[in-house]
Amino acid sequence: MRTGNMQDTPDIEKKLRGYLFGTACADALGRPVEHLTLEKIKEKYGEKGILELPPDSPWTDDTQLMLVLARGLVRGAELELPELMDHIAEELVLWLDEPDMGAGATSRGASLKLRKGVHWSESGIKSKTCGSLMRIGILGFIYRNDPEKLIKAALLSGRITHSHPVSDAASIAGAYAVKLALDGMEPENMYESLLNVTEGISQEFTGALKNSYKTAYSDMEDKDALKELGYGWYADETFALAYFCTLRYSNDYRKAVQTAVNITGDSDSVGSVAGGILGAKLGIKAIPISWTEAIKEKKKLEEIVGPLLEKYFQVSGNNVRS
């Protein structure tokens, strides 16, 4: 029987919107504080840090590149992976002409290689920064009902820009966590699955994932635990910090995201990963209306919902299970 059908539409649309806006709102909340220490954040925003989105809040390259990947999927998610990667690579080249929203050197450098004619299988830079992780969650939506293709697509599409084993593992974990969230799985119960799908890829990532889980259930206060897990500039730390926030606040999108961005480190990336996972799990209703209304380019998110839903059902319909 099919694993996806049109009767799923109302619920899956709410979860898709939850993922898209959950990612973008968290990204935008973290944007003003990305390069500030926690002490500086508190000096500027008060003891609890940054808590709310002002009107017309822009997102960063995290959401921008997630939408780049989404457009590639809309063009060819049903295709075999080499053909899909061709489309994604083309979208990354087109992205170079978009406004610079703070893109990292690795993503931009790899995309410049693509523009010069380097094949996508050779364009990746051996970097363990989080540029592949931050965009990858949308794959968990499109291939929710085809875990095997999801894992392969996450690995290959991540490697177009980031070819380090840490980034490989983080890309798979980031996409798979969204898939599990859409399935309704609690973050606590994702742990074993995330260990399994990333097994043997990167000891650094495995260590970070284990530390995230252990720390979340320790007696440490949030600020101390987050400091223990790192700064989020590297993909293993980014995922560990984001996962920690989803574990501690699994049913509270706002609190999880506020915790994620009020750190010394890559606030917007940690926030966007955590926000995407919980947005997918809880749906659009969990995200404050004042936040979704404050996003500067929310029309771009709304415009991609329909095409992504259509592609989701096309892919799910082609994926037959006995």
The arithmetic mean of pLDDT across residues 135-159, rounded, is: 98
pLDDT at position 10, please?
74
% of the chain exceeding 90 in pLDDT: 94
d(CA 297, CA 301): 7
CA-CA distance, 108 to 85, in Å (whole number)? 17
Note the pLDDT of residue 244: 98
Mean pLDDT score, 298-310? 97
Tokens representing residue 200 in the block: 């043997």
Residue 5: predicted pLDDT: 47
More confident: 5 or 119? 119
| pLDDT confidence of residue 242 | 98
pLDDT digits (tens, 9 = 90+) for 15-62: 999 999 999 999 999 999 999 999 999 999 999 999 999 999 999 999
- Cβ atoms of 182 and 141 closer than 8 Å: yes
- Residue 295 DSSP class: B
Candidates 280, 288, 256, 245; CA nearest to 137 is 280
CA 1 to chain CA mean position, Å: 30
Q: What is the pLDDT of residues 183-237, one digit of tens each?
A: 999 999 999 999 999 999 999 999 999 999 999 999 999 999 999 999 999 999 9
The tens digit of pLDDT for each residue in 142-151 reads 999 999 999 9
pLDDT digits (tens, 9 = 90+) for 257-286: 999 999 999 999 999 999 999 999 999 999
pLDDT at 87: 98
The per-residue pLDDT for 319 is 60
Judge residue 133's burial from the number of C-beta atoms within 10 Å of its C-beta, 0-12 exposed, 13-18 middle, 19 or more buried: buried
Residue range 248-257: average pLDDT?
98
d(CA 262, CA 107) in angstroms, rounded, equals 25
Q: In this structure, what DSSP letter does residue 284 have? A: G
Q: What is the mean pLDDT of the chain?
A: 95
Q: Rounded CA gap, 14 and 70, in Å?
A: 17
Q: Which residues contact 289 (CB under 8 A, 6 or more apart)?
A: none
* pLDDT score of 86 more than 80: yes
Q: Is 48 exposed, middle or buried (0-12, 13-18, 19+ CB in 10 A)?
A: exposed
Contact between 172 and 198 under an 8 Å Cβ cutoff? The reply is: yes
pLDDT grade, residue 322 (50/70/90)?
A: very low
Q: Which domains are delineated in the chain?
A: 16-307 (1.10.4080.10)
pLDDT at 320 over 70: no
How many Å apart are CA 180 and CA 174, to the nearest integer?
10
Nearest-5° Cα angle at 264, 66 to 36: 85
pLDDT band at 318 (very low <50, low <70, confident <90, very high): low
Mean pLDDT of 85-101: 97
Q: Which of the four pLDDT bands, split at 50, 70 and 90, describes residue 317?
A: confident
Instruction: Determine the pLDDT at residue 156.
Output: 98
